[in-house]
Structure 1
Amino acid sequence: MRTVAVLLHPAVRIFDYGVIHEVFGVDRSNDGVLPIRLWRCAPRGAPITLVGGATLTATHHLADLARADLVLIPGAAPAPPHAEPEQANALRAAADAGVPIAALCSGAFLLADAGLLDGRRATTHWRLVDALARRAPHARVESGPLWVEDGPVWTGAGTAAGIDLCLHLVRRAHGAATAATIARRMVTPPHRDGGQSQYVPATTVDPLPDALTDVLAWARDHLHETVTVAALARRAHQAPRTFARRFTETTGTTPLRWLHHQRVQLAQELMERTDLPVEEVARRAGFGTTAVLRRHFGRDLGTTPTAYRRRFATPETPAAPPPRRAR
């Protein structure tokens, strides 16, 4: 992924564009991240005034969407008006050219207008789900996930979920290590699963997210061990059922699902950044055996550990330090 094109429309929300620019438009070559060209595409290359008064100067025309490696559609508040024919035609041309397209938040409404959600799963901000279902009657609109992937089309939930979706797209194209590097610079978690709930009801939860920090940090340091919900609950000084319920209320996902994604991400980074044998990667990531690691890579990433390493390994892959010992 070398070129990312942003479809600019008059209702673009500043935050959504800011997320796209922060993930894809900032030069982080000093951190070892390959630079990506960010094209701002608008009708006739005209300047676009965003909601809030800021103006963006277009660098490309809508027809250039079909030449990019990825098309992104920022959202609006509450939702963009119906797509102009020129916008819908440009999106369809990009899809016909095989370009993946991702919409942040209510940007999904423009995908709906272009007919690109027909027969697909999709999501948007939880408050706009019913409106999107009406605008895309042939789509399966879901209110739960942070983001949904259906073929070459991604749709994301509101606001901060746009960060998760953009980092996921980086991870798919450039690997977990690159996504983690960008996330660290943005001071944001490197990976929230797309299936995680986008809306956690406001409840009186103890422990609060900050109180979980030590427990989650301990778990990340001990992924090579058998980490159970009971072990996490003991560190939180709670009964396992209470801990599991409050963990889900606080984070929107279950402890086991969180552990699984932490292990997959660790295995990805070890395959990218070290020359450890696959057997050792499986052990350090807590999968135990190569067969289990292969099964999870196939199910979650659609590839094998060896093929993943061939694609994403850095030119120099030094051996990883030994895992930390339990304290």
Structure 2
Amino acid sequence: MKLYQLYERKQSVLREMMLQDIQIQANTLPKLENHNIGGYCFSMVLDEPPKSLWMYSIPLNKLYIRMNKAFNVDVQFKSKMPIQPLNLRVFLCFSNDVSAPVVRCQNHLSVEPLTANNAKMRESLLRSENPNSVYCGNAQGKGISERFSVVVPLNMSRSVTRSGLTRQTLAFKFVCQNSCIGRKETSLVFCLEKACGDIVGQHVIHVKICTCPKRDRIQDERQLNSKKRKSVPEAAEEDEPSKVRRCIAIKTEDTESNDSRDCDDSAAEWNVSRTPDGDYRLAITCPNKEWLLQSIEGMIKEAAAEVLRNPNQENLRRHANKLLSLKKRAYELP
């Protein structure tokens, strides 16, 4: 029983340290990336109905839809014990400029009467068809919690899938088009939040609000396929198979030699040393941001375990806090 209690305490300390920096994310600029920091297996499912007024392109991860036409999306997440309320925050974001808030055009805004109850909803380009939805934000907001968004309570009218995931259907629509906002590319961000505002999961899909979804989807997918074909070697090379084989062999040898040089260079970039105080220092170069965050999270787990085993050692706690600050800095990297 004591071992179980120790394990539970260790997990509790670890969760606390891992989630300390999540609240900070709500006040920063949005990042167009999917993640499941809280371990809720959060995902979105779009089932395109036949003869609908919206379409979803799988290769482009893009929704094509007409203005004022609703689309359904199924939210899936893992329920945790004890059950706690969860919300879904949804907002539009410019794909190439996340710092600029997305607001309605004056033409469509002017035709919607202003009442005492619809001030925030009237200015929001995104609308929810679900009851109990709350409209948040303002036209100057830049952080996630400050910009125009729709917050929908979850854990209501839900069903459970065969895999054990909670599934709830939500409906949304847009009251402006991309042409209203300078034809800029937009993305729809879904944030799974706890009641306190902590973001524990995020999913992003690209969106185009237009008059002819089918036409625009076909055009965009053709452009994608054209780019793929251009990256494939020309079929004319088949006329000289022996020459092609010689070229491939030469390129393979060059690649192998380059790879070996890259290994030597990266080894030089990975610096391991010992400080005068007896500590150890490691400097590494990661090929992408996800690997960097995973490396820091691994060190945070080890630090949390050491803090639990040695709660009176202040130097360990300072080290753990430094790792949390380091992860915050790494998360803010472009």
TM-score category by the smaller chain?
under 0.3
> Relative contact order: is structure 1 or structure 2 higher (C-alpha 8 Å, sep ≥ 6)?
2
Task: Report the TM-score, using the length of structure 1 for normalisation.
Answer: 0.26
Structure label with greater radius of gyration: 2
